Amino acid sequence: MNAPVDPTLLQRKDALQGLGESRLRKEDARFIQGKGNYVDDIKLPGMLHMDIVRSPFAHARIKSIDKSAALAVPGVIAVLTADDLKPLKLHWMPTLAGDVAAVLADEKVHFQMQEVCVVIAEDRYAAADGVEAVQVEYEELPVVMDPYEALKPDAPVLREDLAGKTTGAHGAREHHNHIFTWDAGDAAATEAAFAKAPVVVKEHIFYPRVHPCPLETCGCVASFDPVRGELVTYITSQAPHVVRTVVSLLSGIPESKVRIVSPDIGGGFGNKVGIYPGYVCAIVASIVLGKPVKWIEDRIENISSTAFARDYHMDGEIAATADGKITGLRVHVVADHGAFDACADPTKFPAGLFHICSGSYDIPAAYAQVKGVYTNKAPGGVSYRCSFRVTEAVYLVERMVDVLAQKLGMDKAEIRAKNFIQKEQFPYTSAFGFEYDSGDYQTALDKVLAAVDYKALRAEQAARRADPHATHLMGIGLVTFTEVVGAGPSKMCDILGVGMFDSCEIRVHPTGSAIARMGTITQGQGHQTTYAQIIATELGIPSEVIQVEEGDTSTAPYGLGTYGSRSTPVAGAAIALAARKIHAKARKIAAHLLEVGENDLDWEIDRFNVKGDPARHKTMKDVCWAAYNNVPAGLEMGLEAVHYYDPPNFTFPFGVYLCVVDIARETGEVKVRRFYALDDCGTRINPMIIEGQIHGGLTEGFAVAMGQQMPFDAQGNLLGNTLMDYFLPTFVETPHWETDHTVTPSPHHPLGAKGVAESPHVGSIPTFTNAVVDAFAHLGVTEMTMPHSAYRVWQQLVKSGVAL
Amino acid sequence: MAKKLITVHVNGRKQEKAVEPRTLLIHFLREELHLTGAHIGCETSHCGVCTVDVDGQSVKSCTHLAVQCDGSEVLTVEGLADKGVLHAVQEGFYKEHGLQCGFCTPGMLMRAYRFLHENPNPSEEEIRAGMAGNLCRCTGYQNIVKAVQYAAAKLQQDQKVAA
């Protein structure tokens, strides 16, 4: 029998609202009362407004720009072109991927909606009037929209500025529109595995270009004080400290005089990682004019010109035994990077962490090669709610495993189980060299199959297939994914040479409350709530009195920001370790106050007890007060700590998702009947917030799989760049989500936590596609390109001869 | 551009302002009155982050002119709480984790407020249809449905107590 639990202990634990509690969110009070502070809410005295003249053509030479009519518009103060930025050497800027990108089009435009010049005016209406009045004369050039076409010998030269450059940031350039070729794994061993494999399957899988499309567009308010020589910029950034470094390098203003503030951010999803021409122009305009300048994108500008995601053309191959054991995986990718290589990836990884594409499976030999190509599309290539290119990798492997199962006539759950990395194999080193920290895939799979009664679903599907009068096809999509997140160990990961650590500074006040500042920045993830919970448990201070601040580079310690599910794996660890430094000092003070040795104390929730005599104790509140007036000899006053955490490894969250769809044979409409998502993110800090993140990620995955695409015509016109055309699911289309979890802590993370918010996006997209394709599997269909809109699915129904 | 004088009651306060006829209601609220709760998300009436209440109807203020509101009663999220006491919809969003980044929240709350006047006892399906003009990228809607259900129950309870 368990010993009875002391109810006062439980009360004291509850009072902390620490790790594991579904604590309600601290940030909500301001948002539900309209008191959020987003960039466009910021208004500074004398502030001017900037708007951008953009190219209507995807590829054209600029013959002339006539500003005169714009300058005559009432309220217009200035018009800046590339020629105006040239003396400052700011008409081009370096990208995160080692390329350069035009800030304002220099002699020619490379994609539709590229920034050509900016108009600064007294208010936003006058700025828009000024944009209308600028006269730009263009000479159209041949447009290249297809990356395969771009690599043909006689393809038009897109980047004249790179003429003669045979080496790029990532090695040799083979062609004038070629950016890099990157590979991972062992080509020879993989070739050998394929040579002797009794079964080989191949599939061409295209992952279309999509856009993260947060509801708040990008923007900034730049304010340069010419007297003090200081620049303050409020900006929609997921990485404000990196922005400060880049702005300092570009402008020559010392980093100590540049203050970047990410205030409340209305969703990021990867879109707000990059540094966009609009930011640079607003900063330049503020420096030149000596006044604050605000720039806020509209929706068309956001979708057309800021960072897209994916656009990966993947050729996957699997080698296997006749009974379905995978012996080799090979992937060749052509990656459409658009006009400038502005992918946001760790410097050494031009294809991100795509080499996680061996997934949850024990594959002895693997090889991946990615070729980056220029086209006349907008630059970007960000991780839309995923760690770097992990969505593409998971999509590839989870689709390919289904293709193999279909070829062998095996069940899709059985083939996964047969190839899983087994629980005992962790830590497991993949053929690509990743060391997976922990996992228990079989338990997760079993739990999901039992929860949905998988056997009954397959029986129902068989009956449906046998019934010629059935009005609907039925598909079951299953995915057992593993992600790599928490970038990352600085020996592998850096951005512009800055290691991808993250940081935390905690100050505990005399009366027992605390403030913590972090290098990350929340965009809805609830850091102000969850970070405080970590500290509460570590230090025995109630969450309620712990303030969490992020996003202001003048107060927060340097950090690499929030994207790639890195906040909990990296910053979360920094918080725990900073708190443990404080805890260690608190123990010394408590020992001093109680006149015992440090080792004579037990820590219990919120206090230090003398071993064997808990009536003698000091609470953390007592210690906080003493830290400012009565510390042992030789110890500094105060109670604060900073920790910069350089993770020893990535973390590897995983999950098992199952989706059942019914497809109307008459219309092609796909109805999600059921979606069951089991996630394992290791230790769970706030289950309520985790569940909310999963709902949101699943919905974004649903959007990508079922409707999002950026269609272009041959002239390079983007045919869907408003919310009329670009699919954001409403309440009505969005399915009901069922969530579940297992807990397999990360052995190397101080809390055992792995990160979660991107798993549902990464995992759900192949689940939807697998479900839709599975509905056609008995008809020999192995691949259908997203998005699975009714029209496209209906075309497949017709092609397969099953449309009604 | 010639300006026109308009009188609008916003959150119970009379506002007399001269505005350009082309001024959008959202800009009037945000720039002139400094009520920055309602946001701008799409400029095409699709996302609903600019939703406010005009004369008892939900209106997307990014495609509505300020001059159209001359003589109107406008309620924004800033006017939802009553003397510091949160409205049931605000409480519901907080208790049911109906928000994440918060950007859609003011518009979502104003639509929920009006919707529960239109249909005080809605089914989940009715909530989903009645709120479909407001987009959220973060929550997947499931908790917003719960938040509206919470508010519906609370408003009905309050009414019973009042009666």
Topology at the third CATH level for domain A7-36+502-645 = Aldehyde Oxidoreductase; domain 4 (3.30.365)
Residue with tokens 């795509």: A354
CB contact under 8 A, B43 and A731: no
Segment holding A695, helix H or strand E: helix A687-706
Residues B68 and B98 reside in one and the same domain = no
Nearest-by-Cβ selection for B43 from A299, A699, A731? A299
Q: What is the pLDDT of residues A232-253, one digit of tens each?
A: 999 999 999 999 999 999 999 9
- Tell me the average pLDDT across A557-586: 96
pTM tops 0.90: yes
Query: What percentage of chain A exceeds 70 in pLDDT?
Result: 99
CATH 3.90.70.10 fits A39-141+217-265+272-305, yes or no: no
Average pLDDT over chain A, rounded to whole? 97
- The residue out of B79, B106, B137 marking a domain boundary is B79
Answer whether residue A218 shows pLDDT above 70. Answer: yes
CB hemisphere CA count around B127 (13 angstroms): 23
Distance CA B29, CA B6 (A): 13
pLDDT reported for residue A92:
97
- Which pLDDT does position A2 carry in this prediction? 54
Give yes or no: residues B151 and B132 share one domain.
yes
Q: Bridge-partner residues for A137, per DSSP?
A: A64
Distance from CA of A554 to the nearest CA of B (A): 23
Same-fold call for A7-36+502-645 versus A39-141+217-265+272-305:
no
> Please, what is the average pLDDT of chain B?
97
Same domain, B114 and B56: no
Q: Which helix (H) or strand (E) holds B149?
A: helix B142-162
Instruction: Give the integer Cα–Cα distance in Å for A438 and A427.
Output: 6
Q: Tell me how many degrees the CA angle B85-B89-B90 measures, rounded to the nearest 5.
A: 55
Q: Is the pLDDT of residue A507 over 80?
A: yes
- pLDDT-derived band of residue A1, with 50, 70 and 90 as boundaries? very low
Contact A85, A47 (CB under 8 A): no
Distance from C-alpha of A524 to C-alpha of B146, rounded to nearest angstrom: 19
Check whether B97 has a pLDDT greater than 80: yes
Rg (CA), chain A: 28
Q: Based on the fold, state whether residues B127 and B74 are members of the same structural domain.
A: no
Q: What value of ipTM does the predicted structure carry?
A: 0.98
Structure tokens at B118: 């239109």
pLDDT at residue A137 is higher than 60: yes
Let me know the angle formed at the C-alpha of A168 by A167 and A170, rounded to the nearest 5 degrees. 110
Return the residue in B29, B142, B149, B150 with the most chain A beta carbons within 10 A, the one to mutate for interface testing: B142
> What mean pLDDT comes out for the span A694-714?
97
> What residue spans of A134-233 are helical by DSSP H?
147-150, 187-195
Amino acid at B53: D
CATH code that applies to domain A309-487+650-799: 3.30.365.10
Cβ-defined contact of B102 to A24 (cutoff 8 Å): no
Q: What pLDDT score was predicted for residue A4? A: 60
B20 to chain A, any CB pair closer than 8 A? The answer is: yes
Q: HSE of B76 in the Cβ direction (CA atoms, 13 Å)?
A: 25
B100 and B136 housed in the same domain: yes
State the count of interchain CB pairs (< 8 A) between A and B: 174
Predicted pLDDT of residue B130: 98
Structure tokens at A416: 């996964």
Residues B100 and B149 in one domain: yes
Structural domain including B121 reads: 88-162
Q: Which of B59, B79, B99 is the last residue of a domain?
A: B79
Boundary residue ending a domain (B38, B57, B79): B79
User: What total number of domains does chain B contain?
Assistant: 2
Asked if residues A335 and A389 have their Cβ atoms less than 8 Å apart, the reply is no
Residues A307, A211: Cα–Cα separation, whole Å:
7
Domain ranges of chain A: 7-36+502-645, 39-141+217-265+272-305, 309-487+650-799
B128 touching chain A per CB within 8 A: yes
Using DSSP's 3-state secondary structure scheme, residue A677 falls into: strand
pLDDT at B162: 87
Once rounded to an integer, what is the mean pLDDT over residues A714-734? 97
Q: Which residues of A touch B78 (CB under 8 A)?
A: 33-34
Q: What's residue A76's pLDDT?
A: 98
The mean pLDDT of B35-54, rounded to a whole number, is 97
Q: Note whether B65 and B127 are same-domain residues.
A: no
pLDDT tens track for A305-329: 999 999 999 999 999 999 999 999 9
Single-letter residue type at A88 = L
CB A711 within 8 A of CB A774: no
User: Which candidate, A418, A295, A273, places its Cα nearest to that of A360?
Assistant: A418
Q: Please tell me whether residues B114 and B132 are part of one structural domain.
A: yes
pLDDT at A528 over 60: yes
The residues of A carrying an active-site annotation are: 238, 385-386, 758
B11 and B63 fall within a common domain: yes
CB B19 within 8 A of CB B66: yes
Whichever domain contains B43, its CATH number is: 3.10.20.30
* B71 and B101 share one domain: no
Nearest residue, CB atoms, B132 vs list A40, A217, A731: A731
> How confident is residue A654, by pLDDT bands cut at 50, 70 and 90?
very high
Task: Flag whether pLDDT at A695 surpasses 70.
Answer: yes
- Give me the mean pLDDT over the A88-92 stretch: 94
Radius of gyration of chain B (CA): 16
pLDDT tens across B130-139, in order?
Answer: 999 999 999 9
Q: Tell me: do B154 and B97 sit in the same domain.
A: yes
- B103/A125 CB distance under 8 A: no
- Is residue B20 domain-shared with residue B45, that is, in the same domain? yes
Are A731 and B141 inside 8 Å of each other by CB?
yes
Whether residue A724 and residue B46 make contact (CB cut-off 8 A), yes or no, is yes
In this prediction, residues A783-797 reach a mean pLDDT of: 98
Backbone angle region of A512, left / alpha / beta, with phi > 0 → left and psi within -120 to 50 → alpha:
left
Dist. CA A38–CA B37, nearest whole Å:
10
Task: State residue A3's pLDDT score.
Answer: 58
User: Residues A632, A636, A640, CA angle at the centre, nearest 5°?
Assistant: 115
Q: How many residues does chain B have?
A: 163
